Amino acid sequence: MRIDRNSYGTLALVYSICIVLGFLTLRFIPIPWVSWPLVVILLWTCIWQTAFFRVPKRERGGGPHSVTSVADGRVVIVERVYEPKYLQTECIQVSVYMNFFDVHANFWPASGEVSYYRYYPGKHFLAFAPKASEENEHTCVGIRTVAGPKILFKQLAGVFARRIVCYAQDGVSVHRGDQCGIIKFGSRIDLFLPLDAEIKVKVGDAVRACETVIAEL
């Protein structure tokens, strides 16, 4: 396990705040049954944030035609939609919602070449709201997969997610299961797949990045 390289500053800030609050708690609240539980909560916060920003080692699930989950979380949408930005055709949308306790590092869903990348500033509605896909701050990454078909995924900010990190660049070769970025705090991933893709998940399923096969191309 390692910590996401773009999260060192955030963790340093969290640790600093917790240390200061812990010191003030022990200094100015002389009642042990009040002060020590508060210190334990601050310690738990540091541990939780460290786990939150970790980049876990994962086994890559599936084979060369597989599309795996970009993120840990739960499937909230599986439906047929029209994707106007990159695929410009009807496709299958699979959306995964991440809560505060999921790992928020993101991983490439398929191997291939990045042929489309855009960042869109926007609003911060609840990430599971339908309008979040278009109106929230998000990135769009299109991949021409080694299997042939093109796929697209979006990193969506939520109410508390105020920073999206994406390592995509046009023309870069990518490998399924390598880290592609991180979204800080609650957020969502939308994955757009060809209509003839064999979808392997349904709404309500818990998924794990790299390991859970979302579809077969």
Comparing CA positions, the residue from 101, 105, 145, 137 lying closest to residue 118 is 137
Residue 59's closest CA among 48, 69, 51, 50? 69
Task: Of 205, 206, 203, 201, give the one whose Cα is nearest residue 66.
Answer: 201
Q: Is 187 a catalytic residue?
A: yes
- List 7, 69, 133, 187, catalytic entry: 187
63-78: buried (b, 16+ CB within 10 Å) or exposed (e) per residue? eebbbbbbbbbbbbbb
Are the beta carbons of 128 and 188 closer than 8 angstroms? yes
Q: What is the 3-state secondary structure (H, E, C) of 16-47?
A: HHHHHHHHHHHHHCCCHHHHHHHHHHHHHHHH
d(CA 197, CA 47): 40
* 141 touches 168 (CB < 8 A): yes
| CA separation for the pair 59, 29 (Å, rounded) | 48
Question: Any idea which residues carry the catalytic annotation?
Answer: 187
